[in-house]
Structure 1
Amino acid sequence: MSGSIVWITGAGRAGFAYDEREWVLLFHVLGPVEIRTPDGVVLDARARKPITVLTALLSQVNAWTPVDRLIAATWPEQATPASAEANLKTYIWQLRRILP
């Protein structure tokens, strides 16, 4: 694995396993976030807050990430909005629409 790439392959529906020979998505997370499919298509991932949530999740691959940690990553230098948990659900819904 490279420092800027996370290789993820499906290991059934139960979880994910690393495998550098086959991959489903390629995440470039150093510099502008970029998500590529194996056939080279770059997914449209420009919305700032959903991408912030995605990078927080990618920093803890294969680990449960508490909502509090996602909130802290999404609103690091400002007051957390009262709707933070609802907003996170929306951002995750948006990510699910982008990711295959």
Structure 2
Amino acid sequence: MEFLVASAIGVLTAAGLYMVMRLRTFPVILGVSLLTYAVNIFLFASGRLTPSAPPILSEATIYTDPLPQALVLTAIVISFGMTAVVVMIALGAYLGTDDDHVDDMPETEGEDAT
């Protein structure tokens, strides 16, 4: 079980980093979302993977730590809001320039890029 979760976190992180390094707006947004999912799964798994265990401290001898679950719920809400803001900024940039290319140093007309 732990190997499966660790593999999923690794694959999501690798795919997210690959997408973030693309030079188009939409893949960058998808990459950030994949990285967010990877972090959420990592936080959730840090509370010990215990199937069928209650998430509260009670008389049970086996329990799951409730703090990572609360952190993941908070991270889901924050990532949803962040994704909405980034999509609106990207849409505004696309409508303003008619191009979704992410470029560090845009070339101006009439200058050589040497």
Calculate the TM-score normalised by the size of structure 2. Answer: 0.27
Q: Which has the higher helix share?
A: 2
Task: Select the structure with the greater relative contact order (CA < 8 A; seq sep ≥ 6).
Answer: 2
Structure number with bigger Rg: 2
Relative to the length of structure 1, the TM-score reads 0.30
